[in-house]
Amino acid sequence: LEATMAQSQKMQAVGQLAGGIAHDFNNVLTAIIMSSDLLLTNHRASDPSFADIMNIKQNANRAASLVRQLLAFSRRQTLRPEVLDLTDVIADVRMLLTRLAGTQVNLKIEHGRDLWPVRADLGQFEQVVVNLTVNARDAMPEGGDLTIRTRNIGESESAALNYRDLLPGDYVLVEVQDSGTGMPPEVIEKIFEPFFTTKEVGKGTGLGLSMVYGIIKQTGGSIHCESELGKGTTFRIFLPRHVEAPVLNAAGEVVAVEAPK
């Protein structure tokens, strides 16, 4: 699956919107929540208006939570990349992922040997794995298997893969596979679009995967989704291998990179 230009433009627009108005919008929502709180203290629970005021407050809270996610979404624009060993990074979030996945889900982590380093923002990469884990859990309401695999993909192997946005080169592959519901093609087509969700109101915002997509693109990587209804879903993330000692010109541009040993 290849995300289109229109999708990334939409994502940029959402990022700008978030940065621009989310903060002011949050103040408006705070005023609504405070006023409804005040009203609630002046009404008895038996009052016919009580349930309506409660409803106003709950929905304002829901909107505030959406705004928080929008703010997080716009903040991803400032990445602080560092050289990471994904074996360590995934080991460090294992407990969190286990808790997020819940007791019904059997989480397995399988690392390839001598994983190459990558250059990525630690917090953002963790966010990617967290979002994919939450989606996998939601796709397995009765439980199932969630497997996270990493391995090196050499130049010849990546060249043989037929992904339009993946240039031949060395990559670290992170695979997140679930045995959940899977998706029909018309859903797969839209999953990376901001606000696309099949979850009920209040459960999903449709921002998780567009965030994931934006982070991976900004890291110079690519992401692909393979899914089969009733069988499960696999997300594959390719992050470029980090090579030491880039040679810079006076303008600070990379003009050459030392061949990896």
Give me 121's structure tokens.
């923002």
Residue 59 class from Cβ within 10 Å (0-12 exposed, 13-18 middle, 19+ buried)?
middle
Binding of ligand ADP by 199 (CB under 6 A): yes
Binding of ligand ADP by 191 (CB under 6 A): yes
* Residues 100 and 133: beta-carbon distance below 8 Å: yes
Among 87, 127, 152, 197, binds ligand ADP (CB under 6 A): 197
Count of residues that interact with ligand ADP, criterion CB under 6 A: 22
Residue 229 to residue 181: CA distance in whole angstroms? 6
Print burial letters for 119-138: b (CB count within 10 Å at least 16), e (below 16).
bbbeebbbbbbbbbbebbbb
Q: Which is nearer to ligand ADP, 60 or 191 (CB)?
A: 191
Contact stretch for ligand ADP (CB under 6 A) within 73-81, 120-128, 203-211, 238-246: 203-211
* Residues 166 and 236: beta-carbon distance below 8 Å: no
Among 19, 112, 143, 206, binds ligand ADP (CB under 6 A): 206
Binding of ligand ADP by 183 (CB under 6 A): yes
Query: At closest approach, how far in Å is the CB of 9 from ligand ADP?
Result: 17
Binding positions for ligand ADP, 233-252, rule CB under 6 A: 233
Among 187, 247, 248, 256, binds ligand ADP (CB under 6 A): 187
| Runs of H (alpha helix) within the chain | 5-42, 50-75, 86-101, 122-138, 155-160, 185-188, 208-218
Beta strand pairing call for 81-84 and 118-121: antiparallel
* Residues 240 and 220: beta-carbon distance below 8 Å: yes
Query: At closest approach, how far in Å is the CB of 199 from ligand ADP?
Result: 4
Binding of ligand ADP by 208 (CB under 6 A): yes
Binding positions for ligand ADP, 110-169, rule CB under 6 A: 131, 135-136, 139
Among 70, 178, 216, 236, binds ligand ADP (CB under 6 A): 178
Sites of contact with ligand ADP (CB under 6 A): 131, 135-136, 139, 178, 180-181, 183, 187, 191, 196-199, 204-210, 233
